Amino acid sequence: MPNFRQDFIRFAVQQNVLRFGEFQTKAGRLSPYFFNAGLFNDGASLRNLSQFYAQAILASGLPFDMLFGPAYKGITLAAGAAIALDEQGRNVPFCYNRKEAKDHGEGGMTVGAKLQGRVLIIDDVISAGTSVRESIELIRAAGAQPCGVAIALDRMERGQGELSAVQEVQRNFGIPVVSIATLDDLLGYLQGEALLVQNLAAVQSYRNRYGVKND
C-alpha cells in the first residue's frame, strides 16, 4: 500500500474533513464516519489535497492528456491537481464546465483549455454518478475521450444494487476510477491509531453490512 493513502486519511482526520460518530447518508443509512471534501477550504489544505491527487494519479499509471473539473467542486480540484502535477514534472492543461452556457464573450459551456485527447475527470467522491455521467457526455460531445475519474475517497459501499457507485461508473462507462484512498485504507489507519481505534469496530461492521469487494 503506497504510504500516501494512509497519509491522506491522517490528513483528512486532522483537517476534520473525516469525522467519526453517527451520520445519516443520502441512502438513509447510519454511517459511523463522514467525509466532507468541501472542508478543504483554505490555501494550505487545498495545496496538500492537490498533491495527494497528483500522487494517486501518477501512481495509477493511467494515460491522460488533460484534466476536467465538473462544476462546482471539481473546478478547484482540477486546477489544484494541475498545479500539483506540474510540480511533479507533468504539465497538463485543464478545463471546467459552466452550469449554464455563456451567450456572450467567448461563449460555450467550458472554461479553460480545449477539450481534446484523453480527459481525466477530477471530482471529490462518486455518489450517484450523476456528475460523472454529465461530464462524460460533455467530453464526448466535444470529440474528446473520457479516460478515467480521480476521486478523493472511495467508500466501497453498495448503491441500489450489488455494485458500489464507483463500480457502476466503471461498468457503465468502461473507464477506471482512481481514488486517493478507500474505506479499506481507513480501516487500516484506524487499526494503528490508539486515539481512534474505538471507531474501528463500528466502521468494520458498516463495511461488512454495506460494503463491496474491490475489483
CATH number of the CATH domain containing 28 = 3.40.50.2020
12 phi and psi, to 5 degrees?
Answer: -65, -35
For 137, other C-beta atoms within 10 Å of its C-beta total 11
Inside any domain, residue 175: yes
Give pTM, 2 decimals. Answer: 0.92
Inside any domain, residue 72: yes
pLDDT at 105: 47
Written as one letter, the residue type at 40 is: F
Catalytic residue among 26, 73, 99, 102: 102
Task: Give the separation between CA 91 and CA 101, rounded to whole angstroms.
Answer: 28
pLDDT along the chain (215 residues), means of 10: 85 96 88 94 97 97 97 94 98 90 61 96 88 94 97 91 92 96 95 91 95 78
Inside any domain, residue 34: yes
Is 213 known to be catalytic?
A: no
Task: Give the separation between CA 106 and CA 57, rounded to whole angstroms.
Answer: 31
Catalytic residue among 99, 104, 114, 213: 104
Q: Which domain holds residue 131?
A: 3-210
Inside any domain, residue 122: yes
Inside any domain, residue 147: yes
pLDDT at 161: 85
Inside any domain, residue 118: yes
Give the closest residue to 215 by CA, choosing from 161, 177, 188: 177
* Three-class HEC string of the chain: CCHHHHHHHHHHHHCCCEEEEEEECCCCCEEEEEECHHHCCCHHHHHHHHHHHHHHHHHHCCCCCEEEECCCHHHHHHHHHHHHHHHCCCCCCEEEEEEEEECCCCCEEEEECCCCCEEEEECCCCCCCHHHHHHHHHHHHCCCEEEEEEEEEECCEECCCCCEHHHHHHHHHCCCEEEEEEHHHHHHHHHCCCCCHHHHHHHHHHHHHHECCCC
Task: Give the separation between CA 156 and CA 167, rounded to whole angstroms.
Answer: 9
97 conformational bin, left if phi > 0, alpha if psi -120 to 50, beta if neither:
beta
pLDDT at 2: 55
Is 73 known to be catalytic?
A: no
- Non-local (6+) Cβ contacts of 172 within 8 A are 129, 133
Mean residue pLDDT across the chain: 92
Counted domains in the chain: 1
- Give pLDDT tens digits for 49-62: 999 999 999 999 99
- Non-local (6+) Cβ contacts of 43 within 8 A are none
pLDDT at 121: 98
Inside any domain, residue 215: no
What Cα–Cα distance (Å) separates residue 65 from each residue in 85, 91, 145, 177?
Answer: 12, 10, 10, 16
pLDDT at 99: 74
Inside any domain, residue 104: yes
